[in-house]
Structure 1
């Protein structure tokens, strides 16, 4: 867990900056990249809470220019289902020990990333029923472990969405599901200085990510995000196993 003082707060801001940069660059990835590290630094509850707050903000930033392209037909059932399972994720996370939650989070992140990387086709994740299923899984994972994006990505893969269709809808969903998660468990307890540095990390990451998005092709950018997320998931799993 991060110790107090400027050093620890700067580390948090750096992690948030990297996560915000990759999400702004590729449209996904803040929670996958940053949440496992934040949990290691802050502990499970505080780390997931900060991931929810920062991911919600960077999703809102990314949505500004693309809200007209949101596919509401899929997003409405997904958001409704997520709203039902977010409290369940909060309840489960509150009853797990720190090492158990780290192991669970590491397994979820690693498995989800591998599924997304494989381009897995799941017939159940199609149409309105598929949107409900993806939203239910995503809401639970988001509130329990801070990583709700993979279920939405899998739905998009099975629906045959292009990146242009996926990104604004994912940002729209990210704003709402993270708002649900924050409402269910509150914000993390950080110092004023830490919050200011986290805000600066989000702002800088948004600028850097936009700059990278204009220069890095979509395919390589997405692979970078998923490889970083895979490394974070495996590291979190190992920390949980060693701490058990």
Structure 2
């Protein structure tokens, strides 16, 4: 694949992920990380996912910050801050095939858990927020996929979609900022950064338009099926390279 074709593909992947996240509050990493990891390699792909997911979360938060539940978000973010460095360290120690396998397993398992709406007593209350935040921080910095743990916490807390979205956006800003602080920005060319920014912007606009026209449950189901397919593909490539 030529460099310009790869960069256009990257922009399209980011546009799709940004559209999904703008519609549902999470989903950028689930949809985009497998493809970005295959295209750029695990370190750069995950770091770019952290950048893009944080940016689209910030854009969504500008209109929904008043609905953020700080009582739940503070323990979630605090626990994530403690495990993000560990996730970054673990990712730095693993070879590319092992990272691909790990990312594929995490994405596929997380997708299946959210699809099944897993409920667990351990995810209730303050202890549940700490457990979900710790798991999310580790997964976000190591594999770029921190949203499912927070989504499972919200399911067990009985939050509605309307309650979940602004809180997920707030958390997305915080945990991705932590992850990038621990690992640094991805090393990309100026044209790649520009195309990524175009993808984020266009995806946000498209996602906002689609959110008013597509039933939320249908959009969420599509996101999870795409994520599951991407996770299985990434896992397969990693196993082939071992």
What's 1:109 paired with?
107
What's 1:207 paired with?
205
TM-score, structure 1 as length reference: 0.98
1: CA distance, partners of 2:117 / 2:96: 32
Tell me the CA shift for residue 4 of structure 1: 6.3
- Aligned with residue 154 of structure 1, among 133, 144, 152: 152
Tell me the CA shift for residue 114 of structure 1: 0.5
Tell me the CA shift for residue 5 of structure 1: 2.6
1: CA distance, partners of 2:156 / 2:165: 15
- Report 1:63-78 matches (<5 A): 63-78=61-76
5+ residue gaps, structure 1: none
- Aligned with residue 51 of structure 1, among 49, 52, 55: 49
Q: Runs ≥4 in structure 1, deviation > 6 angstroms?
A: none
What's 1:85 paired with?
83
- Aligned with residue 37 of structure 2, among 27, 36, 39: 39
2: CA distance, partners of 1:197 / 1:230: 26
Between the two proteins, the alignment pairs up a number of residues equal to: 242
2: CA distance, partners of 1:131 / 1:14: 34
Tell me the CA shift for residue 25 of structure 1: 1.5
The 3-state SS of whatever aligns with 2:122 is: coil
5+ residue gaps, structure 2: none
**Could you give the per-residue CA deviations for residues 88-141 of structure 1, whole angstroms, max 9, x where no partner exists?**
000000001101011111111111111111011110001011100000000000
**Could you give the per-residue CA deviations for residues 151-207 of structure 1, whole angstroms, max 9, x where no partner exists?**
000000000000011000000000000000001110111100110010000000001
2: CA distance, partners of 1:234 / 1:70: 34
What's 1:139 paired with?
137
What's 1:235 paired with?
233
What's 2:14 paired with?
16
2: CA distance, partners of 1:28 / 1:80: 19
- Aligned with residue 130 of structure 1, among 128, 136, 140: 128
What's 1:7 paired with?
5
What's 1:226 paired with?
224
Tell me the CA shift for residue 71 of structure 1: 1.0
2: CA distance, partners of 1:71 / 1:227: 29
2: CA distance, partners of 1:50 / 1:4: 20
1: CA distance, partners of 2:70 / 2:53: 20
